[in-house]
Amino acid sequence: MKNIAVIGAGTMGNGIAHTFAQFGYKVNLIDISEESLDKGMKTISGNLDRMVSKEKISEADKEATLNNITTFTDIPKGVKEIDLVVEAATENEDLKLKIFKQLDSNCSATTILASNTSSISITKIASVVSNPERVIGMHFMNPVPIMKLVEIIRGYNTSDKVTKSIMELSENLKKVPVEANDYPGFVANRILMPMINEAIETFYNNVAGVKEIDTVMKLGMAHPMGPLQLADFIGLDVCHSILEVMYEGFKNPKYAPCPLLTNMVMAGKLGIKSGEGFYDYSESKKAEKVSAQFS
């Protein structure tokens, strides 16, 4: 397995492309927007520059990594003669189903089709593919080049052969693959998102302020990042979407998004990506200044 296609040049997609390319795989990075592809490649180049400055890789390693990536704005062309496709598009079920229908029509019958979804059912995604045994979840963590975990999700029909192949591939990327079954939120987000939602509820109920909640979790629970800061980092819209998937999947009110989270998403306060969430990022990408509406 040497030829990889990654669909989506956003934060996760460019990180996945970077990681595969750094380990010598030939990567086709696909996005409908030329602007997104340019931005994604600029991000990859900048991240590689930081690795060079920290002497983790050489300048030659950087150039080799960039040379391993080819960009496409067309799925049929981008997935030609590909061994593995990793879909990393927006966390939207309809969009993912549309993409996988295209993949089914344009990929070889032996191409493994993986989704980087953080919550959407792999079984549902595989239902639009003619041979669903080749569909699997490959949930990388952000930032992809740094984080070791890859959550490997087996759909109802995913074959043992495909699962074994993707587990081994993840290890070749120096990642730690952990297998999970296909239930809403899988493992990572089924545990993480209710914690983030509860932190938002705690603030919403005026138990403590933004920085106070994050400080308690960082210093008291040894979390590297407070839950409200983490929500901003992930994207409040993404958190909201995952919670809705779990709420719909389990019909359990404990997964219902906090009203404050819903309002913030509707108001466009999405965290770092929009410049404001629980913190204000207009001057720094670090969570140092609490958003004016909460201070």
DSSP 185-240: TTTHHHHHHHHHHHHHHHHHTTSS-HHHHHHIIIIIH--SS-HHHHHHHH-HHHHH
The predicted structure's pLDDT at residue 165: 98
Q: Which helix (H) or strand (E) holds 138?
A: strand 135-140
The architecture (CATH level 2) of 3-181 comes to 3-Layer(aba) Sandwich (3.40)
Angle at 143 between CA 155 and CA 74, to 5 degrees: 65
| Residue 121 a catalytic site member | no
Give dist(CA 203, CA 216) in Å, integer.
13
pTM confidence score: 0.92
Q: What is the CATH number of domain 189-289?
A: 1.10.1040.50
Domains 3-181 and 189-289 share a fold: no
Task: Identify which of 174, 107, 167, 122 has the alpha carbon closest to the alpha carbon of residue 144.
Answer: 174
Annotated binding site for NAD(+): 8-13, 31, 91, 96, 118, 142, 273
| Residue 263 a catalytic site member | no
Of the candidates 139, 241, 276, 291, the residue annotated as catalytic is 139
Of the candidates 28, 189, 197, 291, the residue annotated as catalytic is 189
The predicted structure's pLDDT at residue 8: 97
In degrees to the nearest 10, what's the CA dihedral of 288, 146, 141, 218? -40
Amino acid at 116: N
Annotated binding site: 8-13, 31, 91, 96, 118, 142, 273
| Residue 189 a catalytic site member | yes
Angle between helices 34-53 and 11-22 (to 10 degrees): 50
Is the Cα torsion angle 106, 143, 250, 157 positive or negative in sign? positive
Instruction: Reduce the DSSP state of residue 280 to 3 states and report it.
Output: strand
The predicted structure's pLDDT at residue 249: 94
Of the candidates 47, 115, 116, 118, the residue annotated as catalytic is 118
Give dist(CA 206, CA 132) in Å, integer.
48
**pLDDT tens digits, the chain, 295 residues: what are they?**
999 999 999 999 999 999 999 999 999 999 999 999 999 999 999 999 999 999 999 999 999 999 999 999 999 999 999 999 999 999 999 999 999 999 999 999 999 999 999 999 999 999 999 999 999 999 999 999 999 999 999 999 999 999 999 999 999 999 999 999 999 999 999 999 999 999 999 999 999 999 999 999 999 999 999 999 999 999 999 999 999 999 999 999 999 999 999 999 999 999 999 999 999 999 999 999 999 999 8
The predicted structure's pLDDT at residue 43: 97
Of the candidates 121, 151, 276, 291, the residue annotated as catalytic is 151
Q: Where are the domains of the chain?
A: 3-181, 189-289
Query: Exposed, middle or buried: residue 193 (CB in 10 Å: 0-12, 13-18, 19+)?
Result: buried
| Residue 18 a catalytic site member | no
